[in-house]
Amino acid sequence: MTDYGHDLLFGAFVTPSATAGAELAVVADRAGLDLVTFQDHPYVARFHDTWTLLSYAAARTTRIKLAANVLNLPLRQPAVIARSHATLDRLSGGRIELGLGAGAFWDGVEAMGGRRLTAGQSIDALGEAIDIIRQVWDTSTPGPVRASGAYYDVSGAKRGPAPAHAMSIWLGAYKPRMLRLAGRAADGVVPSLSYLPGGINDYADLNRHIDEAAEAAARPPAAVRRLLNINGTFSDFGRSFLDGPAEQWAEDLAGVALDHGVSAFILASDNPADLELFAAEVAPAVRDLVAAERA
Amino acid sequence: MLHRLEFGALVTGAGAAVEAERRGLDLVAVQGDGAWTRLSWIAGVTERIGLVAQIDLAEHAPAVLARSAASLDLLTGGRVTLALADEPGTAEAVEIVRNVLDAGEPRPYRHLGEHYRVPQAQRGPLPAHRIAIWLTGADARSVRLAGRTAEGWIGTPDELAATGKLLDEAAAEVGREAAEIRRVVILDPRAASASEPGAADLFELSVAALLPLVVEHGAGTFLLRTDDPDELRRFAELREVVLRELPEPPPAPIKPAAVRAKRRPGIDYDNVPASLAATAVEPGDLDYARVRSTYMRGGAPGLVLRPRSTGEVADALAFVRAHPGVPFGLRSGGHGMSGRSTNDGGIVLSVQALDTMEVLDAAERLVRIGPGARWADVARFLMPYGWALSSGDYGGVGVSGLATAGGVGWLAREHGLTIDHLRAVKMVLADGSVVRASDDENPDLFWAVRGAGANFGVVTSFDFQVDEVGDVGFAQLVVAADDPADLLVRWGRAIEAAPRTLSGQLIMGPPRPGQPAFAQLMAVVDAADPSVIVDTLQPLAQLAPLYNQNVVLTPYAGIVNNAAEGYHSGQGDPVSRSGLIEHLTPAFAKAAAELIASGAVHWFQIRTVGGAVADIPPAATAYAHRSANFSIVAMGSSERRVDAAFAPLRSHFDGMYLSFETGLDHVADAFPPPTLARLRELKRRYDPAGLFRDNFALGDQS
Ligand SMILES: Cc1cc2nc3c(=O)[nH]c(=O)nc-3n(C[C@H](O)[C@H](O)[C@H](O)COP(=O)(O)OP(=O)(O)OC[C@H]3O[C@@H](n4cnc5c(N)ncnc54)[C@H](O)[C@@H]3O)c2cc1C
């Protein structure tokens, strides 16, 4: 059993297309999910701008937390990301978290005028960005932001606004170097199950890298929340992992929570009925199963 | 007065924005840190008010900003305006934003400038309305930039007084009219300058303070800088007074110079009939992206007319008659293959707005359907009555493109073609006259409309007698096709032996290396009893090993509920060949298998006809090839290759259904000699000048 002791979160991972994206956020809010997230691919014209959609959706919801899953750093600026998140966090009463990615689809990034980085460079850039973001948010330290790195130079930028709550930075992370950055500097990781080549058991490796890096940086591993984007099918008869009735989903996810310490499950679906079922039947059952085991 | 006056508030908080909307102000603007985020939030907590954000370009890459703006515009149904400060790079940014928003341009956007590099951005999304860009800056350079490129200029009253002339001059230099640029005046009740209307002036002298700005300097929008609820209330009251005292009607919208510059030769844009001007679309209009292309073809028409009534259709045809040398296409759902419902530089008449549906006589199951409805809409409309009208297999197809040609659908063998349900039409003829055609009125025309309707006029309503149809079985099977010829023969026999309650189709594609050959079989069985459905399908399921099967019990509307949303963005020009055939003989099947194996076609499809279709005598309608049991279509991309590969099939055919044919020289295949002779005679009578020519035009050789 691996357990970092976090409360469980259940969320939605929604395609940022058309107005449906905003409507699904409202559905998720009403259904009682904890979190609604949108992917961010600014080079794809048919998607909505994730930040705009997220801001709009935040205004149309009352309770649910919102985050990008994950924001494309190469086409955005760290200080702007920090300020806009803080602004929206204040407007929404502390409902915003920051999902951040080093970037992928470099052809798309370059086509829009972003700079192409190697995987390694992009992780270094992300590390610099996290530092800048935390400095901008930190209005209790006097003086301007100090950051002149290899990728960003924003020394002298003013600090603030500070978010309304201690905002988490979650990274889209899979590979050791990125996981080490998360262990060192982030508050969570949010990989997608479908991108784990070995399936859910790969999470043990993810945890190992994160935990080691956290400890090396003198942070408790529990400082890094383990999230997971999932996809599956609700069907009448159980067939396989996350393909079956709600009770089976609950068993499957409780197992993941207890085996790997994953404490947030974000369902990729644009189907309101799936999101409602996930909130109404899966989430409470997983919570019960995990609570029973933790007790 | 250049514009309809607008009154707004320049606010910092969302609460003030909500208050501004509640008080009836026209717009709300934000500037400063996090302006875009705050505006997006405000968009979410308001419903109606216009939204302006002043963007700091240091924080927003223009290409990403364009997408952000389009997103918010779509989310809010077209409420967004962008304001930019004039900085180095603003001119480039304006250009980038405009071009990325121009989603109708098929090619990616490339801009390699001094300040920005956008190597090849995808364009879009298409916003809900044309997003105006306003520029700030009172120095001569900024004002000139606004005059040349922006939809608005923002400044203080003093600045407006000082720069108005320059703005007009800069606009005139590039052929723009002064009215293309809205003058936006920021009123600051706390402004220091004594010469500007301060709070006292503004609210005590009210109209007197604003009038000179409007009358002498062309101010169109006033933005009061305040979050104070009381000031917002008083400003809204002032708005009421000013609008009352300036009763001039809003000036007619003008086409921006940038749009006029894209006009095509030969079209008399300035004389588009008044009834159509407001809905017409030309290159450069925002809606152009939505109307230029069709499902199958990329197009670039010079003008799209969108009448909303039969009278307006007549107006449109008068305009078309005045343009004899200009290509002319008629469009409903835009799925034409034979019908050239888009073109290059010509006129398109779209009947899409004529999409009403009503029941005329419930006992007779008589319905009246507008030509612009889509078949998915029709099916949904009929469903609650327990009725259906067999149309085609795709719900996005338009009513009038299909119902003037034939209509080979999911219930064809049981209930016949779509045109077999037609009882009367209303149409506008080439000379602009409006007539009804039925068995009793203009029977010649009614005969011609059912199979060759596109040659005779614009149908503006269809009266159909529809069928009682409950839930049906819909099967999709994927079967092995190791021996395609053998499969075709046996599928053909199974179909001919099947009861009329079964109609269906077969689809095959070119062989793919390393993959087994397969065929897709689809069928509808009009029966509600699952065991009857399964029994009826059995002969098809036994034809070959099944790779996949899916059978559902569904309302008819569920089968054609497959229309893609959004607008067409077809590219290129498809090549499609078709034929009608009585039996799938071994000789035909062998030729067809060779065609499929040739790789020259990427799509080979056979739909079932026969049954009730063949009950109607060939002379009864212009669609005459009634004896066929099968309708065949093959699509590819190279005309030469497709024709070569398709040639061996032709000797087996007995005519052709024109809707699946892109080769317009096959008129003689579409209509047998007696039909063709009668059609030509009628064409001479009803359309001697050949106005209707986009779909198997009947030439005048006798
Ligand atoms: C994906 C797809 C599936 C199809 N499946 C079937 C099928 O199963 N069965 C079948 O029978 N056909 C089928 N078709 C063919 C289709 O019926 C024809 O292409 C039809 O013309 C499309 O109608 P539309 O209104 O969508 O097209 P449009 O392109 O809008 O119109 C096509 C032509 O119809 C004529 N026309 C349009 N409106 C009027 C009017 N008001 N008065 C007179 N003439 C008019 C014009 O000549 C015009 O060029 C299919 C086509 C596609 C693309």
Comparing B203 with B124, the larger pLDDT belongs to B124
Instruction: Please check whether residue A203 touches B, CB under 8 A.
Output: no
What pLDDT digit, counting tens, does each position of B478-502 carry? Answer: 999 999 999 999 999 999 999 999 9
Q: What's the 3-state SS for chain A? A: CCCCCCCCEEEEEECCECCHHHHHHHHHHHHCCCEEEECCCCCCCCECCHHHHHHHHHHHCCCCEEEECCEEHHHCCHHHHHHHHHHHHHHCCCCECEEEECCCCHHHHHHCCCCCCCHHHHHHHHHHHHHHHHHHHCCCCCCCCCCECCCCECCCCCCCCCCCCCCCEEECCCCHHHHHHHHHHCCEECCEHHHCCCHHHHHHHHHHHHHHHHHHCCCCHHHCEEEEEECCEECCCCCECCEECHHHHHHHHHHHHHHHCCCEEEEECCCHHHHHHHHHHHHHHHHHHHHHHHC
Instruction: Please check whether residue A62 touches B, CB under 8 A.
Output: no
Measured between CB atoms, which of A46, A48, A112 is closest to B64?
A112
- pLDDT of the residue at B248: 65
What pLDDT digit, counting tens, does each position of B130-185 carry? Answer: 999 999 999 999 999 999 999 999 999 989 999 888 999 999 999 998 889 999 99
- pLDDT of the residue at A259: 94
- pLDDT of the residue at B207: 73
Q: How far apart are CA B595 and CA B452, in angstroms?
A: 29
Whether B604 shows a pLDDT value over 50: the answer reads: yes
In a domain, B620, yes or no: yes
Q: How far apart are CA B576 and CA B586, in angstroms?
A: 23
Helix A203-216 / helix A246-260 crossing angle, nearest 10 deg:
40
Q: How far apart are CA B495 and CA B476, in angstroms?
A: 15
Q: Nearest Cα to B93, choosing from B123, B55, B131?
A: B55
* Burial call B64-76: b when 16+ CB within 10 Å, e when fewer: bbbbbbbbbbbbb
Task: Give the end-to-end CA distance of chain A in Å, rounded to a whole number.
Answer: 13
**Index of the ligand 1 atom closest to the CA of residue B354:** 41
B398 DSSP assignment: B
Q: Residue B50's domain spans which residues?
A: 6-245
What's the angle, vertex CA B126, arms to CA B122 and CA B128, rounded to 5? Answer: 160
Q: How far apart are CA B460 and CA B443, in angstroms?
A: 17
- pLDDT of the residue at B702: 43
In a domain, B440, yes or no: no
Burial of B510 (0-12, 13-18, 19+ CB in 10 A): middle
> Are the Cβ atoms of B37 and A92 closer than 8 angstroms?
no
- What is the identity of the amino acid at B22? R
> Are the Cβ atoms of A59 and B38 closer than 8 angstroms?
no
> Are the Cβ atoms of B122 and A111 closer than 8 angstroms?
yes
Structural domain count, chain B: 2
Q: Which of B221, B245, B269 is the last residue before a domain boundary?
A: B245
Ligand 1 pocket mutation, candidates B328, B341, B635, criterion most atoms within 8 A of CB:
B341
What pLDDT digit, counting tens, does each position of B399-415 carry? Answer: 999 999 999 999 999 99
**Index of the ligand 1 atom closest to the CA of residue B341:** 49
**Index of the ligand 1 atom closest to the CA of residue B406:** 11
CA dihedral A12, A15, A21, A26 (to 10 degrees): -10
**Index of the ligand 1 atom closest to the CA of residue B397:** 26
Q: Which of A109-113, A175-179, B440-444, B450-454 has the lowest mean pLDDT?
A: A109-113
What pLDDT digit, counting tens, does each position of B226-240 carry? Answer: 999 999 999 999 999
CATH classification code of A9-294: 3.20.20.30
Q: Which of B200, B224, B245 is the last residue before a domain boundary?
A: B245
How distant, in Å, are the alpha carbons of A58, B17, B190 from that of A93? 10, 18, 31
> Are the Cβ atoms of A113 and B38 closer than 8 angstroms?
no
Task: Give the end-to-end CA distance of chain B in Å, rounded to a whole number.
Answer: 61
Instruction: Please check whether residue A64 touches B, CB under 8 A.
Output: no
Residue B334 CA to ligand 1 centre (angstroms): 7
What pLDDT digit, counting tens, does each position of B650-694 carry? Answer: 999 999 999 999 998 889 999 999 999 999 999 999 999 999 999
CATH at B499: 3.40.462.20
Q: Which residues contact residue B515 at a Cβ distance below 8 angstroms, ignoring those fewer than 6 apart?
A: none
Per-residue pLDDT tens listing for chain A (295 residues): 788 989 999 999 998 876 688 999 999 999 999 999 999 888 888 888 999 999 999 999 999 999 999 999 999 999 999 999 999 999 999 999 999 999 888 998 999 888 999 999 999 999 999 999 999 999 999 999 999 999 999 989 999 999 999 999 999 999 999 999 999 999 999 999 999 999 999 999 999 999 999 999 999 999 999 999 999 999 888 888 999 999 999 999 999 999 999 999 999 999 999 999 999 999 999 999 999 998 8
In a domain, B406, yes or no: no
Chain B residue numbers with beta carbons less than 8 Å from the beta carbon of A88 are 34, 37, 41
Comparing B106 with A8, the larger pLDDT belongs to A8
- How many interchain CB pairs under 8 A, A with B? 114
How large is the average pLDDT for residues B214-224?
91
Q: How far apart are CA B653 and CA B474, in angstroms?
A: 29
Instruction: Please check whether residue B127 touches A, CB under 8 A.
Output: no
Comparing B125 with B451, the larger pLDDT belongs to B451
Q: Nearest Cα to B506, choosing from B610, B628, B606, B393?
A: B606
**Is residue B205 very low, low, confident or very high in pLDDT (cuts 50, 70, 90)?**
very low
- What is the identity of the amino acid at A272? P
- pLDDT of the residue at B200: 53
Rounded to two decimals, the pTM is 0.84
Instruction: Please check whether residue A112 touches B, CB under 8 A.
Output: yes
Measured between CB atoms, which of B44, B68, B117 is closest to A49?
B68
Shortest distance between the Cα of B112 and any Cα of chain A, in A, equals 9
How distant, in Å, are the alpha carbons of A101, B24, B34, B72, B287 from that of B50? 34, 11, 18, 12, 20
Q: Is the bond preceding B125 in cis, omega lying within 30 degrees of 0?
A: yes
> Are the Cβ atoms of A56 and B44 closer than 8 angstroms?
yes
Q: Looking at ligand 1, which residue's alpha carbon is closest to its atom 23?
A: B401
What pLDDT digit, counting tens, does each position of B517-575 carry? Answer: 999 999 999 998 999 999 999 999 999 999 988 899 999 999 999 888 888 988 888 99
What whole-number percentage of chain B has pLDDT above 70?
96
Q: Nearest Cα to B501, choosing from B540, B546, B532?
A: B532
Shortest distance between the Cα of B32 and any Cα of chain A, in A, equals 12
Q: Nearest Cα to A129, choosing from A107, A163, A111, A103?
A: A103
Q: How far apart are CA B601 and CA B687, in angstroms?
A: 36
Q: Are A186 and A130 in contact (CB under 8 A)?
A: yes
Shortest distance between the Cα of A95 and any Cα of chain B, in A, equals 13
Q: What's the 3-state SS for B433-495? A: CEEEEECCCCHHHHHHHHHHHHHCCEEEEEEEECEECCCEEEEEEEEECCCHHHHHHHHHHHH
Token reading at B643? 């024709």
How large is the average pLDDT for residues B259-281?
95
Measured between CB atoms, which of B34, B40, B117 is closest to A52?
B40
B601 DSSP assignment: E
The residue with tokens 């209303």 is: B426
Token reading at A32? 């009682």
What pLDDT digit, counting tens, does each position of B681-692 carry? Answer: 999 999 999 999
Best residue in A55, A61, A73, A139 to probe B by mutation, most B CBs within 10 Å?
Answer: A55
Q: How many CB atoms lie within 10 A of CB A215?
A: 12
Q: Nearest Cα to A172, choosing from A197, A198, A204, A195?
A: A195
CATH at B72: 3.20.20.30
- What is the identity of the amino acid at A231? N
Q: Are A72 and A41 in contact (CB under 8 A)?
A: yes
Q: Which residues contact residue B530 at a Cβ distance below 8 angstroms, ignoring those fewer than 6 apart?
A: B473, B553
Ligand 1 neighbours (beta carbon < 6 A): B 294-296, 329-337, 339-341, 351, 371, 392-394, 397-398, 400-402, 404-409, 453-454, 458-459, 607, 659, 694-695
